[in-house]
């Protein structure tokens, strides 16, 4: 897989977005209440990054995820919701599409994983998503979420444990 830290100076924006856009979107889904809102904040953050920030140096994915989270906070405030936590709770109730592409085989398993992810507490799910698909370290996750790396690692372990428990019960009813 291409490194999310590769600098986009020699690529077109389209190629870069094609490669990294899905990761940005899945992270944005943790902080917004719908696919449409997630795409809006990704759009805002990516345009800002490509116009002004990519020449500044710094690791692109980190810059973008910080920007996406900030945009999601602004969106929540504009729409009268106080915290990202409230957004995540609404997103759980308002299921408008999965995080993953459907597969031709083993799609039951994909759906089971999606359902198990939705049942995770929001703070565990966001750490899990940032770690697995955002490919962030615990230090970077801690910085992005304003928590300690140890707290991030702890939430990650709890998330994996809960996920495995859910998926085990699906396998062996």
Partner 1 sequence: MIDDPQDYQELEKELRSLRLRAPSAALHARIGEALAASQALADFRALDQAALRTAPVSTSAEPNRWLHWGLPVAAALVVGTLAFRGPPPPPPANPLSLPASAPAGAAQNVPLSSSTADRELDLSLATRHPGVDLYKPVAAENVSFGDDEEKVITLPDGTTARELRQRYLDKVTWRNPQTNAWLTWSVPRDEVRVVPIRAY
Instruction: Give the shortest CB-101-to-partner 1 separation in angstroms.
Output: 4
Q: Does 157 bind partner 1 (CB under 8 A)?
A: yes
Place of tokens 């590769």: 6
CA distance to 53, 83, 94, 143, per residue, from 35 (Å) = 25, 18, 10, 25
- Residue among 23 and 69 whose Cβ is closer to partner 1: 23
Tokens of 108: 């039951």
> How many residues contact partner 1, by CB under 8 A?
32
Q: Does 26 bind partner 1 (CB under 8 A)?
A: yes
Sole binder of partner 1 in the list 5, 15, 51, 94 (CB under 8 A): 51
Strand, helix or coil at 70? helix
**Euclidean distance between CA atoms 93 and 39, whole angstroms:** 19
**Euclidean distance between CA atoms 154 and 51, whole angstroms:** 37
Which residues are at the interface with partner 1 (CB under 8 A)? 13-14, 17, 21-26, 39, 42-43, 46-47, 50-51, 97-101, 103, 110, 113, 132-133, 157, 160-161, 163-164, 167
């Amino acid at each position: 897989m291409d490194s999310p830290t590769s600098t986009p100076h020699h690529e077109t924006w389209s190629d870069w977005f094609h490669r990294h856009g899905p990761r940005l979107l899945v992270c944005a889904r943790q902080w917004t209440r719908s696919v449409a809102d997630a795409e809006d904040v990704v759009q805002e953050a990516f345009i800002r990054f490509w116009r002004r920030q990519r020449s500044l140096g710094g690791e692109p994915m980190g810059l973008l995820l910080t920007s996406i989270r900030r945009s999601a906070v602004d969106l929540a405030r504009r729409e009268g919701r106080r915290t990202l936590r409230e957004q995540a709770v609404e997103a759980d109730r308002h299921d408008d599409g999965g995080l993953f592409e459907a597969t031709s085989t083993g799609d039951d398993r994909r759906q089971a994983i999606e359902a198990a992810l939705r049942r995770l507490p929001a703070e565990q799910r966001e750490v899990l998503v940032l770690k697995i698909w955002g490919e962030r370290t615990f230090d970077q996750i801690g910085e992005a979420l304003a928590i300690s790396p140890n707290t991030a690692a702890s939430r990650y372990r709890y998330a994996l444990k809960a996920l495995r428990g859910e998926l085990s019960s699906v396998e062996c009813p």
